[in-house]
Amino acid sequence: MTARRSAAELLARHRAVLPSWLALNYEQPIELAAGKGCRVVDGEGREYLDFFAGILTNMLGYGVPEVTEAISAQADTGVLHTSTLYLIRSQVELAERIVALSGIPDAKVFFTSSGTEANEAALLLTTSARRSNQVLALRNSYHGRSYAAMGVTGNRGWSASSLSPLSVSYVMNGYRYRSPFGHLSDADYCRAAADDLREVLLTTTSGDVACMIAEPVQGVGGFVVPPDGFFRALKEVLDEHGIPFVSDEVQTGWGRTGETFWGISAHDVVPDAMTFAKGLGNGLSIGGVVARADLMDGLTANSISTFGGNPLSTRGALATLDYLQRHDLQANARAVGGRLLAMLRQVGAEAPVVGEVRGKGLMIGIELVEPRTTIPSPAAAARAMEATKRGGLLVGKGGLYGNVLRIAPPLTLTGDEADEGLEILRAALAEASGAA
């Protein structure tokens, strides 16, 4: 039993000493004090079913003994950290596992502490290899909060600065719901995107381009799912120019999308590099880039990461990967997520504020609009968020207009838990529709 702690008092202290731009969920933000499985308890003792899992980070859920034991065993050695100046057995083991899983020939891994740093590293590798500061990204993308990662983020709500020295060209994304090409068949949509990329290369770039970076399913952008084959079509154009492709798997990696282990594999594409973070450590701070050896080894000066790949986070990540694979959570994401998506589509058809329900595996977006239009309604999304909270369910929010509910529970979600969350969402969407 944890002692009751006031969220209002903590919020006041938070506001006094933390930045105003550090986004918080809910009119009355909450502190999550304990968790088990897919459920968390806030500081005031209220229990919630968690359909957001941190931010897709608590991939196995909370209080997983196998992960806790691995971390405790490492802590018991007295060594939490040694730095990359020393050999780290668990780092090497984890890199071997990720290389094998990546499908990238002759791959190597560099570990970081976050997704932002992972993308930063991928941008460093590709811009150095190609002697170019030009990068291609998708509109509505999110790649992190640092100077360069923010520089390739095509979402004004998360781009506080465009001053990075990268020269970025944004190409058409897979957001069919809001695309003038949305009516095209899958094959024609993919062709239109490839044509757009060709034109962007011709008209907005000069000489060599360092890379294209893209999320297979846009996460912060509102779980935007392009048609399968979309990235295959883009990759063919990139290959004509020898431009490396970086798949940002920070949200889509580790089987979350159900049908494939990496989001990009649904497109029959082997990227030149992939970045990862979030779920790998089941909440521990870990990220990295896995890339072709020639890209990875291409830097011409020494580099280190003091904390990247430290013994504690890599031990926890190995235990997380073991659990994930032993329990085939990718298959669970496909089965439970597929059914949840189908049920949510039915719920959406009954709620006038739901414009679209889309997703893959346990990554489902519900886009809210002014009733029976396609006009984005951030107000309806905010109302639905508050209603789910009152109902005892945590969900996320995103989208270019802040009007998309994001559902991304731990990959251990059971069918019963999915049904329970579904009923709370049904009520919340009805309430948001009624108030619209």
- Interacting residues toward ligand PMP by CB under 6 A: 55, 114-116, 119, 142-145, 215, 219-220, 248, 250-251, 277, 287
- CB nearer to ligand PMP: give 367 or 431: 367
Least Å from the CB of residue 141 to ligand PMP: 8
- CB nearer to ligand PMP: give 314 or 433: 314
Least Å from the CB of residue 218 to ligand PMP: 8
Q: How far apart are CA 384 and CA 347, in angstroms?
A: 13
Q: Which of 125, 121, 124 is nearest to 308 (CA)?
A: 121
By beta carbon distance, the residue nearest ligand PMP is 115
- CB nearer to ligand PMP: give 143 or 389: 143
Long-range Cβ contact pairs of 41-44 (< 8 A, separation 24 or more): 41/2, 42/7, 43/2, 43/4, 43/5, 43/6, 43/7, 43/10, 44/4, 44/5, 44/6, 44/7
- CB nearer to ligand PMP: give 219 or 311: 219
Least Å from the CB of residue 64 to ligand PMP: 20
Least Å from the CB of residue 400 to ligand PMP: 14
- CB nearer to ligand PMP: give 48 or 223: 223
Q: How far apart are CA 196 and CA 253, in angstroms?
A: 27
Least Å from the CB of residue 350 to ligand PMP: 30
Least Å from the CB of residue 283 to ligand PMP: 12
Q: Tell me the pairing of strands 32-36 and 39-42.
A: antiparallel
- CB nearer to ligand PMP: give 155 or 433: 155
Residue 337 to residues 34, 37, 264, Cα–Cα distance (Å): 25, 17, 18
Least Å from the CB of residue 149 to ligand PMP: 7
CB atoms closer than 10 angstroms to residue 316 = 27
Q: Tell me the pairing of strands 245-248 and 211-214.
A: parallel
List residues bridging with 111 in a β-sheet: 288
Least Å from the CB of residue 11 to ligand PMP: 22
- CB nearer to ligand PMP: give 253 or 391: 253
Residue recorded with tokens 């903590």: 10
Backbone angles phi, psi at 53, to 5 degrees: 55, 55
Inter-residue contact 155 to 221 (CB < 8 Å): yes
Residue 21 class from Cβ within 10 Å (0-12 exposed, 13-18 middle, 19+ buried)? exposed
List residues bridging with 145 in a β-sheet: none
- CB nearer to ligand PMP: give 152 or 193: 152
Backbone angles phi, psi at 89, to 5 degrees: -60, -45
